[in-house]
Structure 1
Amino acid sequence: MAATAACGSCRREKIGEKAAETPAEPSPTWNTLEDSSWKSAMGGQLTIPEPGTLRLQWGEGLSAAKWTGAAVLPPFELELEARRIDGTDFFCGITFPARSTGESVTWIVGGWGGSLVGISSIDDKDASENETTLHRPFKKERWYRLRLRREGERIDAWIDGETVIGIDTAGRKLSLRPGPIDSCAPFGLATWQTTGEFRNLRWRTL
């Protein structure tokens, strides 16, 4: 794990070369991801502590919520804020459709002990094993601004405006990590043995 963490800065430099700047704002209108269209899929309870905020309670393993509103399809851009309330594993897992042919993947934020960021799965390697793997600290109860963009064969992602993922997936196998995360597909949110909150969720077609 130390070796992986040590090369994180190297990966950031390489990512920065590809996508150093946050892309210019495209023109399509933002769509709000309404509270009423999220349904509990498994694990801990899904609640709405206040309008516009979703909370996934700690579960024995995965806690998941699935979007039941209008389909979110690529190419798209997604924004939200997320935070860890309790627990030490990922407080935000965003499962999203990566291709029109039906493949979905998951953007993990704060996993594998609390610090890992990455995409599961690329060529059957999960977020801790492929070139999107990155480690960074996350503080409990602090909101983080997350931005995800899927356009063409690129996946780009930012945390608080900093590029954390920038990858071309052309010719790569994209899939979900085997296990219960498929309860979120094609679009959903999840935590692992952690209580997480989400607010200001919105998306738009590119």
Structure 2
Amino acid sequence: MIVPPRAAERTEEIEGSPRQEDAIGFQIRELRKAKGMTLQGVADAVGISVGYLSQIERNQSQLPIGILKKISTTLGVQINWFFHASDLPADEKDIIVRAENRRKLTFTKLGIQEELLSPNLSGPLEMLMSTIDVGADSGDYSHEGVEAGLVICGILDLWVSGQHFRLNAGDSFSFKSTETHRCANPGDEPTKVVWIITPPQY
């Protein structure tokens, strides 16, 4: 859910129902753990105490919008990552993700946008939809776990431990995430790929 302009511009403390506050604190903790970051590391980057960050994650302290922006930057997401539609049916929570409510991450310099298809990051895996712009290249990286993917449209160049593969719509793949890997879009239209990663990385 996109943060309304007035909410994004506010400098006062975020106020709302306990349900909203709970969601933000829980998501901060969930995302921090998924990224393998410590309380100390995030607190130092944001410029707050470990105790205060712990209180935020446990929803025991109000959260100024300025601090949330710094936390978002430190965790590598847009601030709207932490805001969801408040009218989601109770029976869909933590099970269903409607297309209009996907949480998004944009890597502007890389030309890649990712949408979280999983309802949360607290389970054993995450599912993402990546949109890779024409000419975009992720660069080499590796991390713990295993991942698999399915090319939905476009062309995907994939490198795994130095091996190069060119995949088209309908092709799929899987490899150990500890192997150095990289992906790029050599085509003339955006490439969309659904990824499944375990354990969650975002």
- Structure with greater Cα Rg: 2
Same fold (TM over 0.5): no
Report which of the two has the higher share of strand.
1
Q: Please indicate the TM-score interval, normalised by the length of the shorter structure.
A: under 0.3
Report which of the two has the higher share of helix.
2
TM-score by length of 2: 0.28
Higher relative contact order (CA 8 A, sep 6+): 1
TM-score by length of 1: 0.27
